[in-house]
Amino acid sequence: MSRSLLLISLLICLLGAAHAARADQRLVHAERSLYREVLVYENGDVRCMCFTRNCRVGRQSCLDTRHPNRMVMHYPQLMLGALYVNPAPQSVLIVGLGGGTLPRALRQLLPDARIDVVEIDPAVVRVANRYFDFAASDKTRLIESDGRVYVKRALRTTQRYDLIMLDAFDHEYIPEHLLTQEFLQEVKSLLTPQGVLAANTFSSSRLYEHESVTYAAVFGKFFNLKQENRVIIARPGALPDAAQLRATAEQFKGPFRSFGFDATQVLPLFTQERDWNPGARVLTDQYSPANLLNLER
């Protein structure tokens, strides 16, 4: 068989497998909000929230209905790697609720911490409550607001956070006003001196290099963890070395095992190696991702 025919056969097989995977999904809920369509699919014991039909542009959050503690997706595991940089945050801000995987996990890991979750879409909140075991409480506060609006308002108060997690997505990608240098500077100003930022992004996109230089412009060096998604972990001060990360990870081996993974398996992903063009243009409020994508079409 020629190389071209082999490639065509492989592509047909992959498309067939993808179609079969979608066919196995059962739609259990759908509602349209002011911002997007919010859908819930089930495939066996796994229930997922998606913002596109058949989860065409990825899954926002997934829950194992038989083992609710197990983290089905990899990116929340990487996000929890922020605890290797600051293992005992007392105040946490999460921008973007999804199904509530991160606030539920952090509530178990940090029973005394104050956790603020900001979500712009009431439909996402309703679905997270009904289908993904999320529940607000006295120590897990849910704020229905645009993430940037909340950050700006918080800066006017004395409120500061030991851990900030950016996990806000629309049906295509991160909203453009949550990607700019100005926004990241505001987030940095909201961190305590020992605070840490974890940001969930894509591991490959036309914005990858621009995102990278934007984070570098605000934070300098940062950890760049890649496994399906890319998670950026940064802080205002110096980053810990490999020995410090290893020692801190040991503290979480037991707790993380309850989520279905080994705390040390994330360690090899902690790298500061630059895999982007440092000459790429920084994203700003005047030079937004939407404009960038229009220029590249």
Catalytic residues: 167
For residue 235, pLDDT over 50 is answered with yes
Q: What is the mean pLDDT of residues 227-253?
A: 96
Average of per-residue pLDDT values in the chain? 90
Q: What is the mean pLDDT of residues 142-163?
A: 97
- Orientation angle between helical segments 147-155 and 181-190, nearest 10 degrees: 50
For residue 122, pLDDT over 50 is answered with yes
Q: What are the residue boundaries of the structural domains of the chain, listed by start?
A: 75-296
Which of 105-119, 152-166, 275-289 is predicted with the least confidence, judged by mean pLDDT? 275-289
d(CA 175, CA 167): 10
pLDDT at 171: 77
Model confidence, pTM: 0.90
Q: What is the mean pLDDT of residues 64-72?
A: 95
pLDDT at 175: 93
**What confidence tens digit (pLDDT) does each residue in 207-225 have?**
999 999 999 999 999 999 9
Domain 75-296 has CATH 3.40.50.2300: no
Backbone angles phi, psi at 227, to 5 degrees: -160, 95
Q: What is the mean pLDDT of residues 263-283?
A: 96
Query: Would you place residue 272 in the very low, low, confident or very high pLDDT band (cuts 50, 70, 90)?
Result: very high
